[in-house]
Structure 1
Amino acid sequence: MFQSDFLENKTRKVTIVDVEIAVFKQLLIFLYTGNAPRLAEESITRLLFELADKYGAGTLKDECVDVLLTQFNIENVIDMLVWAHFHSIEKLSEKAMKFLVKNFRKLCVQPEWMELMKNHPDLCLRANQQMAVLLPDTESEDSE
């Protein structure tokens, strides 16, 4: 940008409009120090992951995933599962799925579950398949 005929070369300024300043600031701090002080804040972690992905900061992406792996709860697991699936974060997606299956009785009555069924039937199918594995083996009725 600074070595061509782009506006940034003339003004010596780069305008970033697609991210909150607090999140971008954490990216810059990480790039200069190797540490993002607000990384563990639930409102920042996913946004910081997306920004790290956009700018190719792989180490920061990995650190974001490590933090997200500790942030599952009943209120956010469905959203986290969808988000992890969208971003192809297999490690996070699998752990979210395990948490969902383990807490299914609480989750299946929430409006978020209905939205998941409607908008992401593939994820619901995976959840149902994993729940089926947990069911005790019983003999089929045909064998009686």
Structure 2
Amino acid sequence: MADSKVETTARLAQWKIDNLVNNSIRKSDPFRVGMWNWHLSVEKNRYLYVRLFPEAGRISKEQPPIAMFVLRIFNIGGSRRPWTSPVHNKLLRSSEDFVWPVDSSFHGRLVIDVEFLDLKVATMNGAEACSIWPNEGAMQLQATKGALKCLSRMLDDGLHTDVTINTANGSVRAHRAILAARSPVFESMFLHDLKEKESSVINIEDISVEACMALLSYIYGGIKHEDFWYHRVALLRAADKYDIGDLKESCEESLLEDIDSKNVLERLQEAWLFQLSRLKKKCLMYLFDFGKIYDAREDLSAFFQHADRELMIEMFQEVLNSWRL
């Protein structure tokens, strides 16, 4: 029939019906929105019943849609405002899954609009359904990836660098604006009349050039996991020195993951020095609650020669607490 065709745009489908008489049922031709073919049907008796459902087939069976949509009905050429449904958000498999009863009489030529606000693919394993359309979060993620790719290229290719960093065993080039944006310490160097502002040179003699590159890769958003893991202690020191809080947290989180008898005293010293409360707590727990102090006893002498007095007092208190237990 001529009036069974549905016109579509990206997310809107419109069905024009020439004349719907009482006690009749009409079904539209299939129309494509997203990855599914759809049908609209309308039944008129005391009420007007509108249905929306995907066309039966392999796709709708294996990947049924969860549709968020709004329906509107109005007379062609009429002055009445459209009858608008609430926003529906339903899993649709067949014509029995959704019906909208309209308690209003429509005569003559009708238009039925369905506007899809979102379409998701229902999952069979209970995982969260994902939209088939890019949303604000996806667009922001894409923009972030593009920006990080550009920043990484600026560092790797040395594009328009304007500052030199001298390390213990080499030099690297960077961008003062990016360093200043990520670290208030770097920002202060370039903002005030310090030698770094005048010479465009930063001397970081307590870090290797490899660790410095790992630090810059983190700042520019392109660090690799293996580089972070290998240089995490050096990165922790740099993060504390240059007040890069998120890097400091990431280093502490990583150092918590592999405490053992060979590194626990070193980790405890780092935790005390850089005020990492979670790392300090876990190291003390490992040593005293789990009784691993005996496994590290060969390193205790060297540790006590350099350990802070307050840290040794805290360790002694832990010993007393363990004896009470």
**Common fold: TM-score over 0.5:** yes
Deviation at 1:71, TM superposition (A): 2.2
Whole-angstrom distance in 1 between the partners of 2:191 and 2:272: 38
Q: Which of 1 and 2 has greater Rg?
A: 2
Whole-angstrom distance in 1 between the partners of 2:192 and 2:293: 55
- Out of 296, 310, 313, which is 1:122 matched to? 313
Q: Summarize the Cα distance change of 1:20–1:126 in structure 2 as closer, same or farther, 3 Å threshold.
A: farther
Which letter does structure 1 place at the counterpart of 2:293? F
Q: Comparing both chains, which one has the higher relative contact order based on Cα–Cα distances under 8 Å and sequence gaps of 6 or more?
A: 1
Alignment correspondent of 1:142: none
Whole-angstrom distance in 2 between the partners of 1:15 and 1:82: 26
Report matched runs for 1:62-141 at 5 Å. 62-101=249-288, 102=290, 103-107=292-296, 110-117=297-304, 119=307, 120=309, 121-133=312-324, 135=325
Deviation at 1:56, TM superposition (A): 1.4
Q: Summarize the Cα distance change of 1:130–1:25 in structure 2 as closer, same or farther, 3 Å threshold.
A: farther
Deviation at 1:129, TM superposition (A): 3.1
Q: Summarize the Cα distance change of 1:126–1:9 in structure 2 as closer, same or farther, 3 Å threshold.
A: same
**Structure 2: where are the runs of 5+ without partners?**
1-188
What is the DSSP-based 3-state SS (H/G/I as helix, E as strand, rest coil) of the residue aligned with 1:74?
Answer: coil
**Contact preservation (8 Å) 1:117, 1:124:** no
Within the alignment, does 1:54 sit opposite 2:241 as a pair? Answer: yes
Q: Please, what is the CA RMSD of the aligned residues?
A: 2.5
Whole-angstrom distance in 2 between the partners of 1:73 and 1:3: 44
Deviation at 1:105, TM superposition (A): 3.3
What is the DSSP-based 3-state SS (H/G/I as helix, E as strand, rest coil) of the residue aligned with 2:261?
Answer: coil
**Contact preservation (8 Å) 2:284, 2:315:** no
Deviation at 1:23, TM superposition (A): 1.3
Whole-angstrom distance in 2 between the partners of 1:2 and 1:114: 44
Within the alignment, does 1:29 sit opposite 2:199 as a pair? Answer: no
Deviation at 1:73, TM superposition (A): 0.9
Deviation at 1:53, TM superposition (A): 1.1
Percent of aligned pairs with the same residue?
Answer: 22
TM-score normalised by length of structure 1: 0.74
Deviation string 1:24-71 (CA, Å, 9 cap, x unpaired) is: 111111111164531212xx2111111011111110000000000012
Within the alignment, does 1:19 sit opposite 2:207 as a pair? Answer: yes
Which letter does structure 1 place at the counterpart of 2:315? C
Within the alignment, does 1:45 sit opposite 2:232 as a pair? Answer: yes
Whole-angstrom distance in 2 between the partners of 1:130 and 1:69: 23
Whole-angstrom distance in 2 between the partners of 1:129 and 1:87: 25
What is the DSSP-based 3-state SS (H/G/I as helix, E as strand, rest coil) of the residue aligned with 2:322?
Answer: helix
Deviation string 1:111-144 (CA, Å, 9 cap, x unpaired) is: 22234456553143133034235x3xxxxxxxxx
Whole-angstrom distance in 1 between the partners of 2:198 and 2:284: 50
Question: When the two structures are aligned, how many residues end up with a matched partner?
Answer: 130
Q: Normalized per residue, which structure has more helix?
A: 1
**Structure 1: where are the runs of 5+ without partners?**
136-144
Alignment correspondent of 1:140: none
Whole-angstrom distance in 1 between the partners of 2:200 and 2:232: 30
